[in-house]
A and B are shown apart, each in its own frame.
Chain A
Amino acid sequence: MAQLPPHVPPAHITPQPKRSGIHLHVNGKPYLHAGDPDMPLLWWLHDYLQLTGTKYACGIGACGACSVLIDGEPAHACLTPMQTLQGRKVITVEGLAQADGSPSALQQAWIDEDAILCGYCQTGQLIAAHALLQRHPQPSEADLDSLPNLCRCGSYPRIRKALQRAARSKAGKPDASDMPGKPA
C-alpha cells in the first residue's frame, strides 16, 4: 500500500532499467524492485503491483493459493524471494487472459463449469491447472488426481470438469453447449 493511491505503481517499480535492483517481467511488462530483496514475490505483487489475484493462504507453500508461473514453471509466490527473480519472467493469474483481455480457454472453462465456490483458491487452481495442461494436454483421471492445490469448499469435481472441458477446447473439440457437463 505504501501511501499510494490504488492501482498506480510507485515510481521505483515502473520501468527504469538503468537503476540497480531486481529487474523482472510480470505478465510481459518490465519492472524493477529496489526494495528488500528478501520480500516474497507474493507481497510485492499484492502490495506494490496491486496484482491481488495471487492469494495468501498459508505462507509456507502448502496450499497453492499463491501459485504463479516463473519462466513457465509453477511456483509458490509466498516462498519466492524477490532476489531470486533477477531477469525472470513471472506470469500471474491476471496474465492468463488472451491478448484482448478476454478469458483464456481455461478461464472460460472455469466459468462454463461454474467451478467456483468461495473463489479464493481458484486463481491458484487456474495456475496449477495451466501447468498441468502444459504437461498433459489431454489429462487422464490420474493426471487430474495429481492437482495439488487445496480447496476448502470442495469444488474439486467441478475443477476436474473444467480442466477436461479446457482440454477438449484446446484440442479443437469444444463442447457444443456452454452449460456445465453432467457428472462423469
Chain B
Amino acid sequence: MSEMDRRRFLKVMLGAGGALIVGIPLRAAHAATPPVPLALLGDSWTRLSAFVSIEPNGRTLIGARAPDTGQGVRTALPRIIADELDADWTRVEVLALPLGVEDDNGKPRWLYGPQHAGGSRNIPEAWQDLRSIGAAARWLLRNAAAQRWNLPADRLTTRAGWVLSPDGRRLDYGELAAAAAQLQLPDAGVALKSASDYRLIGQPARDVDARAIVSGRQAYAFDQTWGDGYVAVIARCPYAEGELEHLDDSKARAVAGVEKIIPISVREAAGLIGEVPLAPGIAVLARDTWAALKGRTQLALRWRARHGGDASTDALAQQAATLLKGTPTTQVRNDGDFAKAFKAAAHRIKAEYHVPFVAHATMEPMNCMALVTSARAHLIAPTQSPRRAFEIVRKLTRLDAGSILIEMPRIGGGYGRRLDDDYIAEAVLLAQAAGKPIKLLWMREDDMTHDVYRPFGVHRLAAGTDRKGRIAAWQHHLASTSRLWHRGVPSDQLWTSEMQPDALPAGLVPNLQLGWYALDFPLWRGAWRAPSHDSNTFAIESFLDEIAHATHQDPLKLRLALLQPARPLPVQDGTFDSGRLAAVLKQAADSIGWGQRPPAGHGRGLACAYSAGGYCAHAFEVSVQSGKLHFHRAVAVVDVGRVVNPLGLDAQIMGGTLDALSTALKLEITVKDGQVQQQNFPEYPIARMRELPRAVEVISIASTTAPVGAEDLGVPSAAPALANAIFAATGKRLRHMPFAAQLAHMD
C-alpha cells in the first residue's frame, strides 16, 4: 500500500451542477483558501480535495500533484489516472494541485501522496497510488450505467469517455456523472486494469502545456503578480561563509521607485542548508523590477569572509592529490583481497579522473512569490521540494498547516537546485519584514554564484586483470567535497552522497576496494542530476574502456563479460539486473554499427549506467578536426520498464544526453579568493545548437516491469561514452572534465 492509500480511502462527491468528483476527504473543513483549484472541486471544496472531476458535459479535470520542471509529469501523471479511467484524453484538462497538507495535532498530514520533483521518482510513485483513483472513477461510472440499463456491471465496457453495453448502446461519462456520484465504492477496493487494456499508457502524448508555452501564456512563478507588493532583488555576500563589513544605501534609497532596503541575516534564521538563505544579503524592494535592479547597483557594499577568503579550486586539487596518497577517510567496501590480487595480476592499469564543480544554471533563475499576513501565508514557489518549503514557512510564520498555501507552477528547470529552498526562506523573511507581498527575483549572477554546486571530485582507479583479460582486482578511490556538508549529517556518513557501495563493478569483480577521502572546501554543494552517479560513471566507464584498450580487448566484450550471465544484485534502491544493462549496451552497440569499420577519422564509444531503477547505454560516433568536435551519430538505449509516455521518455533521454554532453564539454565552476569566478553564461557557456548532436536516436527496450522515471537517466553514461569515442577517434584520453580546452589542442 502506498503512503496515500494507507491513510484514507477515496471518497466520491457530487460537485457543482452534477459533477462526479473522486478524491480524498479533508479532515478539517476550514482551510483559509481552497487547497485545490475551484474548477476541480465544484462547490464542495470545503469538504474534499480532488484528483478527478467529470462534469455533465463530459469535460474531465485531472489534478497533477507534482511540479513540472520539464520532466513531463504534468502530462504523464494525469495520463496514468486517465488510462484507468478510460477517459477521452482530448477532453481532459490538467490542473496543478498545490501542496496538499492539513494540520494533524501540530504535525503536517500530507493529503495527495508524494509531491516533489527529484530523483526520477514521480512515475514509480504514481504507478503505486494514482491508478486506483482513475479505476475508482471508472467503476462508479460503469455501475451508474449498469443501474440505468438494468444490466450487470461486468457486462459493460468503457472506452474513451463512454460506457458501452453489449447491445451497442452507449452513455457518455458526463451523462452518468451525477448518478455515479451517488454510489458507494466497494470497501475491498477496485481492481486495476490488465495491461492489455491500456489505451493511453504506452502511447505518445505531447506536453499538456505546449500550447500555453508557445503562445507566451504559460505563467511561471515570476510571471505572476500580487497586484500590490514589492519586487525584491538581493545583493549577497560572495563568500560561502562571510559577513557585511560596510553598507551605505543612501544612493539606493534615492532611486525613484525604491521603497525599502532590508538586510537579510543568515544566523538569525539558523537552520540547515536549503532551509535558510545561503548567504547574508541586502535586499532592495521596489515598485517594479527595474527600480529594484537600479537601486541594487547604487548600494555601496563591502563583504568580508569569516574564513575561507583565500579558498581556491586550484588549492582544492592540491588538497585532493595530497590526501589520495594516504589512507581513505572511509573504507566504503572491501571484497576479497585487492592488494594481493592487484600484485598478482598479469596487467595492471591505473588512471585518475577529475570532475569539477558545476552549477545548475536553470534557465528560470531562483525566484519566489510570497504573501504573508498574521492570518495566512500564500506562496507561488518554483520548488522541487514543496513539503520542505512548507516546513520553512511554518517555522518562520508559526502559522498552522491549514493557513499555508503553497502553489507550484510550471518550473523553468530544476536538475536538483530547487530541492533546496533557501530562496523561499528569503522571500518569506522579506514579506514579513516589509509587511507586503514580495516577488523575489535572483539575477543570473546571483544564481551562478550562489548555487549548491555538484561536488568536486578526483577519482583514482586501479585494476588488475588475469592473463585472459578478466578483471580480478578493482580499486576506486574518490576524494570529493561531500554534498552532505552542513546538512546535519554526521561526518562519518558524509561519504554516502559520494559513492555507492554497490556501483559497477561491485559484485562482479572478486577483489574490490572502494574508498572515500573527505575534501574540505567552503562552497555549498547539492544534488545535481543523478547525484554521484553522473560523476562516478564518468570515472568507471572511462576506466573500463582504458582497461579494454590496455589489454587489447574489445570494450563491448569486456563489459559484456562482466555483466553476463545475467544476475540480480542487491542495490540501495532495489535490485540491479546485470542482464538488462547488458541488453541496452548490446542494442546501443548494434545501432551504432559496433564492430564495423567507421569512416576514416571517426571513432565510436560506448558506456552504460544503472540509476534510479533504469538502465541506459550511450553510443556516439565522433571525429575531431582542427580541435573541433563533430558528432556523427548519437544513440541512447534505455530500459525503464513499461513506458508511460514514449514521446516524453524520448524527450527526457534526448535532453539528459545533451545536457550531460554540454556539461562534460564546457562547464566548470572555479573558485578564487573564496569567490565563484563564473558570473553569467559567457563564463559558463552552456552548449548551443551548433555544438551538440543534431539528433539523438533514442531506443527503448520493450518491458512489462513497473515503470521508473527517466528524468536523469540519460545523464550518467553520456560523458564517458563521449570520452571513449574521442579516444577511439584520436587516441587521446580525456580524463579531466570539461573537455573543451583539451579538445582545442587536438589536430
Q: List residues of chain A with CB under 8 Å of any chain B CB.
A: 1-6, 36, 38-40, 43-44, 46-48, 50-60, 62-63, 65, 92-94, 96-97, 103, 107, 110-112, 114, 116-123, 126, 141, 144-160, 179-180, 183-184
Contacts and interface: CB of A to CB of B under 8 A. Distances in A.
B444 A58 contact: yes
Interface string B207-251: 101110111111110111111110100000000000000000000
Interface stretch (B304-312, B357-365, B389-397, B602-610): B357-365
Given A120-B413, A160-B689, A153 B210 contact: no
B365 A39 contact: no
Contact of B287 (A1, A152, A154): A1
Contacts of A1: 225-229, 231, 287-288, 439
B134 interface: no
B350 interface: no
A172 B439 CA distance: 46
A57 to B, nearest CB: 5
Contacts, number: 211
Contacts of A146: 689-690
A interface: dominant SS: loop
Interface string B617-652: 000000000000000000000000000000100010
A119 B213 contact: yes
A97 B209 CA distance: 16
Nearest to B75: A114
A50 to B, nearest CB: 7
Given A53-B217, A54-B216, A184-B695, A118 B69 contact: yes
Given A118-B412, A145-B689, A157 B654 contact: yes
A97 B289 CA distance: 27
B412 A160 contact: no
A6 B227 contact: yes
B198 interface: no
B216 A123 contact: yes
Interface string B183-226: 00000000000000000000010110111011111111011111
B659 A154 contact: yes
B680 interface: yes
Given A120-B220, A120-B364, A179-B204, 9 more contacts: A52-B222, A58-B680, A93-B216, A118-B414, A119-B70, A119-B213, A119-B218, A119-B410, A153-B413
A129 to B, nearest CB: 11
B411 interface: yes
A110 B293 CA distance: 34
Given A46-B289, A116-B209, A153 B216 contact: no
B228 A158 contact: no
B487 interface: no
B216 A144 contact: no
B214 A110 contact: yes
A114 B647 contact: yes
* Top 8 A-B residue pairs of the complex, sorted by shortest distance between their CB atoms: A53-B216, A120-B412, A154-B658, A118-B70, A52-B223, A154-B655, A145-B690, A93-B216
Given A123-B213, A126-B214, A148-B688, A118 B694 contact: no
B686 interface: yes
B178 interface: no
Contact of A119 (B209, B444, B662, B696): B209
A101 B412 CA distance: 25
Nearest to A53: B216
Contact of B655 (A55, A94, A122, A153): A153
B656 A154 contact: yes
B95 interface: no
B604 to A, nearest CB: 18
A104 B193 CA distance: 40
B693 interface: yes
Nearest to B210: A111
A107 to B, nearest CB: 4
Nearest to B679: A60
